[in-house]
């Protein structure tokens, strides 16, 4: 039963992000897609959230964590420390999301410099090391602030429409087996 706790915590963080996207981002200007799996030659990658606008494509990785968070852009692993001093290492979410942004730009056939990575931490956590501006604590308020800080128009209206169509088609083609294949893909990649 303990294996369900991380799954439920992850689901709660993602559900909060979906809800606040709808509240804080104008749906006429920002188009949201959630829980997409992209198949690749080397396996698959699962993206929590994508926001498409004329200001670029934003790939959002959500983490629902408590305690102190230690890490830097260059570390392979970050560490979560609880009040009882228990330490739990986890994959650097910036590196994880870099893979997502690369996979998405390749899938969409677009230049990677128009795709932005954001890592959102929900929960009662505190960063104990310096973090980049695209890592935010406290959910979508910080995330939407980062998204709205991008004001240079990078995509024409027809490009935004085309990207949204590609993502909607990709989402429609997914089924429950995509999730199972993705889990197998991760396990295989971790065994290497």
Find the mean pLDDT for residues 3-13.
50
Position 175 confidence tier, pLDDT thresholds 50, 70, 90: very low
Find the mean pLDDT for residues 44-56.
93
Place of tokens 């706790």: 5
Architecture of domain 4-154: 3-Layer(aba) Sandwich (3.40)
Token pair, residue 47, equals: 């993206």
Cα separations (Å) of 60 from 97, 108, 177?
A: 8, 16, 23
Q: How many CB atoms lie within 10 A of CB 116?
A: 20
Average pLDDT over all residues of the chain: 82
Q: Where are the domains positioned within the chain?
A: 4-154
Cα separations (Å) of 123 from 62, 78, 115, 120?
A: 11, 16, 26, 10
Q: What is the DSSP string of 84-134?
A: T--EEEEE-HHHHHHHHHHHHHHHHT--GGGEEEEEEEESSEEE-S---TT
Can you give the pLDDT at residue 180?
A: 45
């Amino acid at each position: 039963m303990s294996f369900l706790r991380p799954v439920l915590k992850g689901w709660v963080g993602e559900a909060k992000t979906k809800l606040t996207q709808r509240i804080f981002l104008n749906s006429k200007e920002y188009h949201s897609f959630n829980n997409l799996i992209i198949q690749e030659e080397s396996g698959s990658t699962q993206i929590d959230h994508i926001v498409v606008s004329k200001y670029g494509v934003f790939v959002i990785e959500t983490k629902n964590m408590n305690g102190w968070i230690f890490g830097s852009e260059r570390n392979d692993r970050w560490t979560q420390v609880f009040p009882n001093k228990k330490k739990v290492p986890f994959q650097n979410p910036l590196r994880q999301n870099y893979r997502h942004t690369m996979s998405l730009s390749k899938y969409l056939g677009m230049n990677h410099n128009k795709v932005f990575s954001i890592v959102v931490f929900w929960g009662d956590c505190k960063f104990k090391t310096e973090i980049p501006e695209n890592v935010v604590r406290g959910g979508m308020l910080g995330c939407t602030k980062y998204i709205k800080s991008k004001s240079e128009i990078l995509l024409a209206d027809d490009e935004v429409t085309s990207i949204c169509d590609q993502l909607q088609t990709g989402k429609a083609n997914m089924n429950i087996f995509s999730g199972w294949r993705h889990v197998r893909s991760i396990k295989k990649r971790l065994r290497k």
